[in-house]
Structure formats: structure tokens, C-alpha cells
Amino acid sequence: MRLRLAALLAAALGTSLLLMPATAMAETTPTPTPTTGGAAPDKNPIVEGANITVTLKDLNAGKGEPKPVPGVSLTVFKDSATGEEQGTQVTDQTGRVSIGIPGNGKYVVVLDPKTLPDGVKLSGKGETTKTVQVKLASSNFVQFQIGAVVVEKASLGSKIIDGTRSGVISGLLIALAALGLSLIFGTTGLTNFAHGELITFGAIATYVFNRGFGLPVIAAGVLAVVASAAFGFLQDRGLWRPLRNRGTGLIAMMIVSIGLALFMRSIFQYGFGGSTKTLSEYVVQGRDSYGPIDLSHKEIAIVLVSVLTIAITCIAMMRTRLGKAMRAVSDNPALSASSGLRVDGVISAVWVLGTALTGLAGVLLAVQQQVNFQMGFNLLLLVFAGVTLGGLGTIWGALIGSLIIGLMVELGPVFGVPASIKEVGALAVLILILLVRPQGILGKAQRIG
Amino acid sequence: MDFGTIIDAAFSAAFGPQAIVFALAAIGLNVHFGYTGLLNFGQAGFMSIAAFGLAVTVVTWDLPFWLGIIVGMIAAVILALILGVPTLRLRADYLAIVTIATSEILRLVFGAVEFKDTFGGSNGLTGFVRPYQNLNPYGGGIDLGIVSFSRNDLWSITVGWSLVALCCLLVWAVMRSPWGRVLKSIREDEDAVRSLGKNVFAYKMQALVLGGLFGGLAGIFHILKQGSAVPTDFNTTFTFYAYAALLIGGAARVLGPVVGSMIFWFLIAGIGSFFSEATKGSSPVIPDWIMTSDQSSLIRLILLGLGLMLLMIFRPQGIFGDRREIAIDGR
Amino acid sequence: MAAELSDARAALAGVSNEPGAPKPDPIITGSNITRTFGGLKAVDVEKIEIQRGVITALIGPNGAGKTTLFNLLTGFDEPDSGQWAFNGTELGKVPAFKVARLGMVRTFQLTKVLAKLTVIENMRLGATGQRGEKFFSAIFKSLWSSQEDANTKRADDLLARFKLDAKREDFAGSLSGGQRKLLEMARALMVDPELIMLDEPMAGVNPALKQSLLGHVKSLRDEGRTVLFVEHDMDMVRDISDWVIVMAQGQIVAEGTPQSVMADQRVIDAYLGAHHDTDITEIDVEDLEAEADAELDAEEKKA
Ligand SMILES: Nc1ncnc2c1ncn2[C@@H]1O[C@H](COP(=O)(O)OP(=O)(O)O)[C@@H](O)[C@H]1O
Ligand SMILES: [Mg+2]
């Protein structure tokens, strides 16, 4: 494996007012194609009007020509790093972000060092902020370098430890959402393509409670989980239960969920906008060393909250009457109904629990990363992969599958999966495992006759 | 507010190249889902592999155009075989997950910076359309009032609608035959078909290949009509839209996907253009605080989502389908 | 007909009543067939032989493993162990469709009609060796239309025999439960099987239809086919079967002619557990039928 010894990072900052050619955005055919998947957007269009445009290039990579650095998150604040946020974007394939600003003044660009690709470190003193003075009267295209520094050679061991850390964290987040999906699938048979939007719902609700109502992030997160649960309850009552009652088939319901996903995602984009935004607290945190592992405080909190929640959910499913009822309905709805269970009530409870778990995944994801109208949609495939890998409809399967998927995604690059498409490894493993064990790791074969 | 613009946009889209791409892709989905009951959510994958098969052959390897077309179509067949072997024996939902995963894998790989030399990275590949455009017999574009097409579009719709007609003819011919009857029976209950001595796996595979070929054709036509092969065009959302088009027209009908695609694009373009007109200018019809011009482009997606839900709930057979014949219920 | 009947029974005259007893002319022979689900041994058959040209009934309480045994024999499920042969051909790993082509066709306990196809299309599907079922010849109607006409004629004859001709153009999904059973049986006959295996053909069928179904099953034997069927209705079993095999908890516990089996203490034990004093013909037939009806209802609701 080739290790990059030194990396030089240069940032070019440009500001301009109405100078960008309008044709860049012109749409010839109306193509409703929001991008999907992938950490880095394929193209960040240059914002019309006043904007700060940053291009990140790695001077040491590429042969002679600096190589763009995609997938790095940059945020612009007014006046100082604690000032009013103007917007956040992730660098596209050309290493570019373009964030709109209201007018003249001092702006601070903050780079999230955690989003830098492996092996690329900021040079100089490792500064993650840059201050820009914007004068709109004349267009200026400022280019400056951050400096150069030698990056320590990353050993294979530390790469594995880093990959495992991020893998476990994303695995746990996927597991929360997968648990929700699996519960709902198990009891109702619904393959819910709108499940990703439940994640986004949790994240956006957190943002609204936090930035909109000014609540601290933790309080906002708790409220967002409650809101998610309420949303799940209403969704079941208002949509899925009536559909079940009129005998709509499972495939028809699956397509309804595709429509619902598109509907909700577009509504989110309508209300929340297309850009990526941050919560007010815990945005950038340094990591402390705990033995060989580096963890930030918020990462510790995320791991604890998700492990506890998953553990409590599993114990509750095993021990409480409601949990047993849920498993009974999931095993055989007709039999449970004839033995006097209130199946509809149990399904309502499953929706509330499932959407609360999924909403929590969104909350934690918002804290861990940022908030975006399609963050859940981008995660959905991995959630599905986790559930399928473990075996459709089994709770333990969903957990194990999700952790495997999380680890595969983050460890893939260590073992040669190109870093810009690290999801590919996990998806390929999913397909290979299904080849050998069609019912998933913990699933059971179905009945015939 | 200019209603002429709106009407032109709607009709031009309904008959234009984009509707053809959807029609071809949806004809493939109709073979998969409508007739055989295979939940292929990776039609975009069949499109992208054929498209890049052509583009890579011509641009990267510098081989002839027609060879590229053949490579593209063969690639689509191979993808069908690779997908089919592990999944066609499994429950329907597994095929759905595996096909989505595969189409995303393909999209990511085609767009990866690491493979830029072969696939062109996120900007994709260009420079393979010359032989296609050289065949264009038209001297210029047309403007018939309610529709207008450029010279290139005129050529594309000539080629495209001819392809659609041929595909429909083929689908019609095979679906009225005993072969088509086996597919429809597999959709209803594959164990019953098995118990009557039919090799269900082989038929599903044939259906997957045939529908995948239509998908591949859609992908090739897509990059020919726009002159570039861009990975992000082939995302899962595209597949969902193609399903929407199919369901609007009615699954398991020969012309369902074609009519559906035209209606889909008529509505998408018409609504899009309406709201863009309504929010345009310094004193727009819809005030800024309700809807900005950025937001206006989202209305069609919101309505599309809502429409798909309502369609599935109240008219699962599509606008022209027969309720008793519709494939989509049960498992 | 009477002569044939006695022929069939005469062939079995010397066969012992022990489970798995060898038959003079077996069409199916099997040994050590086991299938477990989790910890449950659903099928554990040491030896089984089915006599050619007779009607054999497979009875046993619910959950005895009859359907699972059907699934295993016809290739719809894979056993944990065991061998079995049809007409001397080993069927170990043979897939279900090949088993059917060999001439061993089964129906399902929960009927599997193709709801969105018409009755006549359901029937046509059953015909074997259709040229039009190959993709490339399917494209050209002239290559298959004459064969299709012949198949249609045969299908119409069968429909008439099963009194379904009035429903010819109806969607199969619109048929009643009993009519579906009839259609499934008629469709299986389109394959022209040597052995036809019927899984609870009478469940959910109304009494009037039941009588005619009985006649059909008998006529199958008279055509020279072998019939193996699962049934709960003891009257029917006594009425039409030449031989009865009793399963309980996955095992074959007894065999014999209908009369001898119904007097067999092992059978009474198997059905009734501790309640020895009840006559076997009065076992909870009603209950069992009600259960089957409920299953059917559930299935219809799904469809
Ligand atoms: N796919 C399966 N998974 C788990 N258990 C099964 C499965 N199929 C059958 N069984 C169990 O095997 C036993 C035999 O079932 P079955 O063959 O359907 O009985 P019968 O047809 O005699 O009523 C039952 O206890 C049933 O619950
Ligand atoms: Mg049974």
C-alpha cells in the first residue's frame, strides 16, 4: 500500500459578485435528478451573486498537477468562527465549495479536519480557519497557501484502528435505523423506502429545535426523538393502517413508500433548503487519546447513547409483554390475531418505537456530522444492506448486519477499496454473502406448500 | 406568465428525447416487474453499464462506434446474468436490494476519481456521438407552435420513437405467446409454475436479460441524445421515476410504459415550467415569501411523490389498466 | 370398473401392515428421509413405498409432516438426509420442475391458481413440451399456433369433465375455493402425469362438489394413473382409497387397507393421544375442516 508521506494543501478563495456565467446553471431539459449516495457531491454549482468559493487542492498528490480534495466540509461564518453561520458545503469532485454571502465584510472559513481524506493533513500549524475580507465592489480572486508540513507516516495498525472507530460509530447509527426498519418490516411486511426520510426527520427536527427555538442541542435531540415517535404514530394511523385495512398488497405499499419518500424529501428540501447546515454546539471537536484510540467527546456520547438504546430495546423486546406481543405478531400475525392480541395496537407501538429509534439515528448523525435534506436517503441503502445482511425481519440480524456494514464501509479503504467510493466494498460484500447464505446471516428459510 | 412557454415545455417534453429514455427503460421494467413480477430496482445500472460500455469502447479504447453499441448491449446481458444467478432463487425483496446495490456500485465506480482514466470521473466521457450525429438527415430544427425541437433532438426523436415502436412490437409478440404466459404465471405464483414442469429460474433469467437489454438500450440512447455519459444520471432516483412512469401508464400492458412516460414528462415539464414562470421576474405571480424560484423547481417533485402514492392507492392498474388484471397486489 | 377396483386391491392383498411395507410394484420407493425445522423433526420416514396404479391415502393429524413429505418428494424442499426414487430414477437433488416432467405432479394444500390469468390460460400453462414457450419461437405465432390449438382442445375437454367449462374465460381469482381445487387438479392433469399427488383436495370444498371430486379421483386411477392424496375426511378415505398410510409426528406409524387401518390401535393413538374410546371416524373432522377453511380464507384475503 502506498503511503503518502507529505501533503501540501492549498486553498484558493475567490469572491465575486454576479461575475459567474449564468450558463453554468442553465437547465436545458427539466431533469428532476437529485444526486444520491456518496460523501462528496459531484458538482457544487457556483452560487449566483456574492459568494465565497474555495477550492481545495492537494499539491503533493497527482503528477505535477495538484489533485482536488473532495468530501471535505467547509463552513463560512460572518465576522468570527462563532458568528452567524452562512452555510456549509462539502467539497465536490473538483475540490470546490461555493457558499453564498449577503455582502461586504469579514468572513471566516472553517474546515472540518475530520472530513479530510486519510493521509491528507493540513499543513502549516494545521489551522482549520481562514479569514477573508470581502470587498464586493471589485471582484477579487484570492489565492493563498496554507503552508506545508510533513505528515507522520500512518501505520497500517493505526489505519485499522481509525477505520474501526468510524466503522463502529457509523455501524451503530445504521443499527439504530436498521432496528427501526426491521421492527416495522417484521410486523407489517412493509419494505419502507421512506425510512431514510425518518432519519432526516430526526436530524432536521433537531436543527429546528436547536437553531430555530434556540434550545441546547441535547434538549433539541430529545425533543426530536419525541417528535419522530409522534410522526411515526401519525404516519401509521393516517396512511399505513388504512392501507392495511383495505387490503393493499405489500408491493403496492412498497411503491407508496417510494412516493412518500420522494414527497417528504422534496418537502424537506423546500423548507430546509439544499445546503448542509450545522447545529450550534459540538460542531468541531478535537479527539483525546484513550490508549491507541482517539475519540472526541461527542463520539463517546454517541457510542454510549446508541449502545444503551439498542441494549434497552433488545431487553425490552425479550422481557416485556409488549415486546413479546411484537415478536408474536412478527412471527405470525394471523395466529396472534386469533389468539386475542390487538394486532393494530401492537403495530402502532412498533411504529412509535421504530420511528423513535430511527429519529434518534438522525439526531446522532446530525451531531456527528451535519444536517442535510437528503442525509437519510443517502444512508438508506446501507440501512437496507444491514437489515438484509442480517436476515430480513430479525432483530439480532439487523444489529449484526449493520455493524458489519459500518465496519466494511470504513475499513474498506484500508484494504484497497478506493476511498472516494468506500460504500462499494460493503455493498459488494452484501451481494457475496447473499450468494452463500440467501436468507442472510440469521434469517430463516421460508415455508412452501 | 407566459402560457405558451408552459405548453411548449410540456408537449416538447412529452414527445422529446427524455420521454423516450424513460419509455425504453420502463418497457424493460414492464418485462421485469409488470409481466414477471421481478422487483428490479436497478434499471439505472443496466442503463449505465451499457452506456459506459459504448463510451469506454469508443473514447477510452478508441474502437469503432458500432462495436461500442455491441459491447454496451453485451455488458447489459452480462450484468443480468451476474445479478440473476444469486438472486432469482431468492425472495422478491432480495432482488430489489441487490439490484439497487449493484446499480449504486456501478454509478460510484464509474464516477470514482480513482478510475478517471477509464471512465472519466464525475464529468464522465464525451466524444463518441459523431457517428450517430453524422447520420442525421435533417437540415434544421422545427417549431410547430406547441412543440419545438432542435435539429439534434429531431434526429433523436426519430431514432428513439422508432426504437420504442420496435421494442413494443417485440414485447407484444412474446407476451401473447406461451412464453409470455409462463412469465405472467411466475408473477402470480412461481411454485405453481414449477409444479407444472417449467424451469422457473430459466424463465426469470430470460426475462431479466430481455428487460435488461431494453434498459441498456435506454442507457445508450440517453448518452447519444445528450452527447455525454455522466455517472450521476444513472442514480436510483431515475429507476424510481421510471417505475412511476410505468405505473402511470399501467403495468403489464404493452403500451403502458410508453403512454406513462409521455404523461410523466408532460406533467413534470408542464408543472415545472408553470411554477418557474409563476415565480419569475421582479413581481412574480406567487410572492417570494411563499415560493422562491429555487423552491419552484421542487413543486413538481412534491406533486410527483404525492401522485405516485395516490395512484398506487386508488388506481394501481394505472390510468388505462384493467383492475382485475393488475399485477401489483399480494406478495 | 369393478374389476379394475378389485385388481388394484388384489395387488395389495399380500402386503403386510407394517410401516414402510414393501409393495409388489412400487412407483415410489424411499428410505431414511428426514427433515428438521429448528429442533423439530417434521419428517422422519424410515421407509416408504407407493404402489403403482392404486389410490393411496396419506393421513395423519395436523402437523404430522404430510405436506413436508410431499415437498421433499417433489423437490420443493431439501431433506437433511434420505434417498427416494420415482420409477427407479433417483430424485435426490432433482429440482421440482424436472420431477414434474418425469411424470410426478403435485397440487398444493393452499391452492395455487394463477389468479390474474383466465381459467383456460391456467389450463394451457399445464401442457408440456410447448414450442411457444421457447423465447425465439415465441416471437412467431405460426411456429406455435397449431400446437396451442391442440392444447386448448385438450384443456377444454378437461374443463368440461371438471364442470368448469362455464368459467372458461373468467379470471381464476374469481373462482370459489372448491372450484380452485378443481382447476388445480385439472391443470395438473394437463401435464399428463403418471403419479398425481393431491394435498388435501377436499379441504374447503362444498359437499355437492365433494361427491363429483371423489368421482374424478377414482376415474384417474381407472385411466391408469397412480394417485397419492392427503385427506382428513375419513369417509372419503374409506370410500376411495385402496391403501392408507398413516403419519404422526413425522413418522409413518401404520399402513394398510382402509378398514384395517381404522381399526389399528396405533392409528387411534396417533390421532387421539389419550382418548382411546372414541371411534376414529368421529375425530375432529369438523375442527380440521374449520381450520382448513380459515387457512383458505386467510389466503383469499391475501390474494
Ligand atoms: N418452513 C417451515 N419452517 C418451520 N416449521 C415448519 C415449516 N414447514 C413445516 N413446518 C413444521 O413441520 C411440521 C409438519 O408440518 P406439515 O408438513 O405442514 O404438516 P401436515 O401437512 O401434516 O399438517 C409442523 O409442525 C410445521 O409447523
Ligand atoms: Mg399439510
Ligand nearest to the CA of C288: 1
**Whether C125 and B193 lie within 8 Å, measured CB to CB:** yes
Residue A393's pLDDT is what?
67
How many angstroms away from the CA of A449 is the closest CA of chain C? 6
pLDDT at B270: 93
Sort A188 into a burial class: Cβ within 10 Å, 0-12 / 13-18 / 19+.
buried
Beta bridge partners of A309: none
Whether C78 has its CB under 8 Å from any CB of chain B: the answer is no
**C88 and C205 within one domain:** yes
SS3 for chain C is CHHHHHHHHHHCCCCCCCCCCCCCCEEEEEEEEEEEECCEEEEEEEEEEEECCCEEEEECCCCCCHHHHHHHHCCCCCCCEEEEEECCEECCCCCHHHHHHCCEEECCCCCCCCCCCEHHHHHHHHCCCCHHHCHHHHCCHHHCHHHHHHHHHHHHHHHHHCCCHHHCCCEHHHCCHHHHHHHHHHHHHHCCCCEEEEECCCCCCCHHHHHHHHHHHHHHHHCCCEEEEECCCHHHHHHHCCEEEEEECCEEEEEECHHHHHHCHHHHHHHHCCCCCCCHHHCCHHHHHHHHHHHHHHHHHHC
Domain count for chain C: 2
CB C176 within 8 A of CB C164: no
**Residue in B54, B42, B92, B97 with CA at minimum distance from that of residue B238:** B42
**Cβ-based burial of C137 (10 A; exposed 0-12, middle 13-18, buried ≥19):** middle
Which B positions 184-203 lie with beta carbon below 8 A of chain C?
184-185, 187-189, 191-200
In a domain, C7, yes or no: yes
Q: Are residues C27 and C79 in the same domain?
A: yes
* Contact call for residues A122 and A92 (beta carbons, < 8 A): no
- Both C63 and C142 in one domain: the answer is no
User: Cα(C15)–Cα(C21) distance, rounded to whole angstroms?
Assistant: 7
In a domain, C21, yes or no: yes
Give me the mean pLDDT over the A409-425 stretch: 87
According to the 3-state scheme, what is the secondary structure of B129-180? CHHHHHCCCCCCCEECCCCEECHHHHHHHHHHHHHHHHHHHHHHHHHCCHHH
Q: What is the pLDDT of residue C11?
A: 77
Same domain for C106 and C233, yes or no, is yes
Q: What is the CATH number of the domain that holds C294?
A: 3.40.50.300
* Residue A352 pLDDT greater than 70, yes or no: yes
Is residue C187 one of the residues assigned to a domain? no
pLDDT confidence of residue B22: 97
Distance of CA C206 to the CA centre of its chain: 19
The answer to whether the Cβ–Cβ distance between A448 and C70 falls below 8 Å is no
Task: Tell me the average pLDDT across B266-276.
Answer: 92
* HSE-CB of C15 using CA atoms within 13 angstroms: 28
8 Å CB contact between C246 and C252: yes
* Conformation bin of residue C133: beta by default, left when phi > 0, alpha when psi is -120 to 50: alpha
Segment A366-371 shows an average pLDDT of 92
Cα separation of the two ends of chain A:
53
Host H or E run for residue A316: helix A297-319
Instruction: Flag whether pLDDT at A24 surpasses 50.
Output: no
Task: Answer whether residue A380 shows pLDDT above 90.
Answer: yes
For residue C108, the chain A residues in CB contact (below 8 A) are: 449
Q: Residue C164: its pLDDT value, please?
A: 92
Q: Identify which has the larger pLDDT, C260 or A439.
A: C260
Hey, are the CB atoms on C76 and A449 less than 8 Å from each other?
yes
Domains and CATH numbers, chain A: 43-146 (2.60.40.10), 156-436 (1.10.3470)
Q: Contact at 8 Å (CB) between A171 and A25? A: no
- Tell me: do C107 and C118 sit in the same domain: no
d(CA A92, CA A268): 22
pLDDT digits (tens, 9 = 90+) for C247-290: 999 999 999 998 888 888 877 777 765 444 444 444 444 455 55
Q: Worst-scoring range by mean pLDDT, A217-221, C55-59, C202-206?
A: C202-206
Ligand nearest to the CA of C203: 2
**Residue C6: is its pLDDT beyond 70?**
no
Residue C135: closest CA among chain B residues belongs to which residue? B179
pLDDT of residue A120: 67
User: Do B60 and B125 touch, CB atoms closer than 8 A?
Assistant: yes
Structural domain range at position C146: 114-174
Contacts of C129 (CB under 8 A, 6+ apart): none
Is C180 within the bounds of a domain?
A: no
Q: Is B77 on the interface with C (CB under 8 A)?
A: no
Asked if C7 and C58 sit in the same domain, the reply is: yes
DSSP strands (E only) in A128-172: 129-134, 140-150
Q: Report the candidate in B132, B174, B240, B141 with the shortest Cα–Cα distance to residue B35.
A: B174
How many Cβ atoms sit within 10 Å of the Cβ of residue C257? Answer: 17
CA–centroid distance, residue C59 to ligand 2 (Å):
10
In a domain, C186, yes or no: no
User: What is the chain B residue with the closest CA to C185?
Assistant: B196
The alpha carbon of residue C28 and the mean position of all alpha carbons in its chain are separated, in whole angstroms, by 14
Q: Whose CA is nearest to atom 2 of ligand 1?
A: A447
User: Which domains can be identified in chain B, with CATH numbers?
Assistant: 3-319 (1.10.3470)
CB of C301 within 8 Å of any CB in chain A? yes
Q: Is residue C150 situated within a structural domain?
A: yes
Chain A closest-CA separation from residue C280 CA (Å): 27
Q: Which residue has the higher pLDDT, A436 or A402?
A: A402
Q: Which of A84, A169, A183, A76 is nearest to A368 (CA)?
A: A169
> Is the confidence at residue A193, as pLDDT, over 80?
yes
Mean pLDDT of B109-137: 92
* Dihedral over alpha carbons B112, B114, B119, B124 (to 10 degrees): 50
C120 and C97 in a common domain: no
Please say if the pLDDT value at position A26 is more than 70: no
Average pLDDT over chain A, rounded to an integer: 78
CA distances from A445 to A392, A402, C48 (A): 11, 21, 26
User: pLDDT of A139-183, one tens digit each?
Assistant: 334 343 433 333 444 677 778 888 899 999 999 999 999 999 999
Mean pLDDT computed over B294-319: 90
Q: Which residues of B touch A34 (CB under 8 A)?
A: 237, 301
**A188, A248, A448: best to mutate for the C interface, most C CBs within 10 A:** A448
Tell which atom from ligand 1 comes closest to the C-alpha of A445. Answer: 1
Q: Assign A77 to helix, strand or coil.
A: strand
pLDDT band at A65 (very low <50, low <70, confident <90, very high): low
* Per-residue pLDDT tens over the stretch C77-106: 999 999 999 999 999 889 999 999 999 999
- In tens, the pLDDT along A88-126 reads 888 887 777 778 777 777 777 777 777 777 666 665 555
Residue C77 in any domain: the answer is yes
C202 and C164 within one domain: no
Q: Is A153 helix (H, G, I), strand (E, B) or coil?
A: coil
User: Residue B244: enclosing H or E segment and its boundaries?
Assistant: helix B236-249
pLDDT of residue C301: 52
Crossing angle of helices C119-126 and C177-190, in 10° steps, is: 30
With cell 445546503, the residue in question is A275
- pLDDT, one tens digit per residue, over C169-190 is 999 999 988 889 999 999 999 9
Burial pattern A366-390, b for ≥16 Cβ within 10 A else e, equals bbbbbbbbbbbbbbbbbbbbbbbbb
* CA of A319 vs chain B CAs: smallest distance (Å): 30
Q: What average pLDDT does the segment C241-247 reach?
A: 92
In terms of domains, do C17 and C118 share one?
no
CA dihedral sign of residues A373, A378, A384, A386: negative
- Residue numbers of C between 34 and 63 with CB closer than 8 Å to B: none
Same domain, C84 and C206: yes
Considering the domain architecture, whether residues C103 and C121 belong to the same structural domain is answered as: no
Asked if A449 lies within 8 A of C301 by C-beta distance, the reply is: no
Share of chain A above pLDDT 90, in %: 36
**Residue C67 contacts A where some CB pair is shorter than 8 Å:** yes
| Chain B residues with beta carbon closer than 8 angstroms to that of C128 | 196-197
Q: What pLDDT does C284 receive?
A: 47
Same-domain check for residues C80 and C196: yes
pLDDT tens-digit readout, A276-286? 899 998 887 77
Q: Which residues of A195-229 are buried (b: 16+ CB within 10 A; e: fewer)?
A: bbbbbbbbbbbbbbbbbeeebebeebbbbbbebbb
Buried b (16+ CB within 10 A) or exposed e, C58-77: bbbbeebbbbbbbbbbbbbb
pLDDT > 70: percent of chain C: 87
Parallel, antiparallel, or unpaired: how do β-strands A129-134 and C89-90 relate?
A: unpaired
Shortest Cα distance, chain A CAs vs residue C184, angstroms: 13
Amino acid at A80: S
**Predicted confidence (pLDDT) at residue A21 exceeds the cutoff of 50:** no
Touching subunits for chain B (3+ Cβ pairs under 8 A): A, C
Cβ < 6 A, ligand 1 pocket: A 447; C 37, 40, 42, 60, 62-68
Task: Compare CB distances from A449 to C109, C298, C301 and report the shortest one's residue.
Answer: C109
Task: Out of A334, A338, A448, name the one closest to residue C71 (CB).
Answer: A448
Q: Is C68 left (phi over 0), alpha (psi -120 to 50) or beta?
A: alpha
Cα-based torsion angle of the residue sequence C114, C118, C119, C121 in order, rounded to the nearest 10 degrees: -80
State the Cα–Cα distance between residues B320 and B228, nearest whole angstrom. Answer: 35
Out of C140, C174, C208, pick the residue that ends a domain: C174
Higher pLDDT, B146 or A66: B146
pLDDT in the model for residue A358? 97
